[in-house]
A = this chain, B = another copy of it.
Amino acid sequence: VSYGRDAGGERTVSRGGGGLATALRGLVEQHDVTWIANAMTDEDRVVAGEDQRGTILIAQDRDAYARFYNVIANPTLWFVQHMLWDLARTPDWDDARHDAWTNGYVPVNVRMARATLAELDRDPSAAVFFHDYHLYLAPAFVRRERPDALLAHFVHIPWPEADAWTVLPPTIRHDVLTGLLANDVVGFHTHRWQRSFVRSCVDVLGATVDGDMVEYDGRRTLVTSHPIGIAPSELDELKQDENVLAREREIEASRPEQLVLRVDRTDPSKNVVRGLRAFGLMLDRHPDLRGRVRMLALLDPSRQDIPEYVDYVAAVEREARSLGNAVDLRVGDDFARSVAAYKQFDVLLVNAVFDGLNLVSKEGPYVNERDGVLVLSENAGAHEELGEWALSVNPFDVSAQADAIHEALTMSATERRRRAEAIRAHVRAHDVGAWGDTQLADLDRVRSLP
Chain A positions near chain B (C-beta within 8 angstroms)? 83-89, 91-95, 98, 158, 160-164, 166-170, 196, 199, 268-269, 271, 273-274, 277, 281, 312, 315, 353-354, 378-379, 394-400
Contact = CB atoms under 8 A, between A and B. Distances in A.
Contacts of A161: 160-164, 196, 199
A293 to B, nearest CB: 20
A163 B196 contact: yes
Given A87-B84, A163-B160, A92 B277 contact: yes
Contacts of A94: 277, 281, 398-399
A87 B353 contact: yes
Contacts of A163: 83, 158, 160-161, 164, 196, 354, 379
A159 to B, nearest CB: 9
> Which of A85, A273, A315: most chain B Cβ within 10 A?
A85
Contacts of A164: 83, 161, 163-164
Interface of A is mostly: loop
27 contacts: A83-B83, A83-B87, A83-B163, A84-B86, A84-B88, A85-B86, A87-B353, A88-B353, A93-B396, A93-B398, A93-B399, A94-B398, A95-B399, A158-B163, A160-B161, A161-B161, A161-B162, A161-B164, A161-B199, A163-B196, A166-B395, A166-B396, A169-B396, A169-B397, A169-B400, A170-B394, A199-B199
Nearest to A395: B166
Contacts of A277: 92, 94
B378 A166 contact: yes
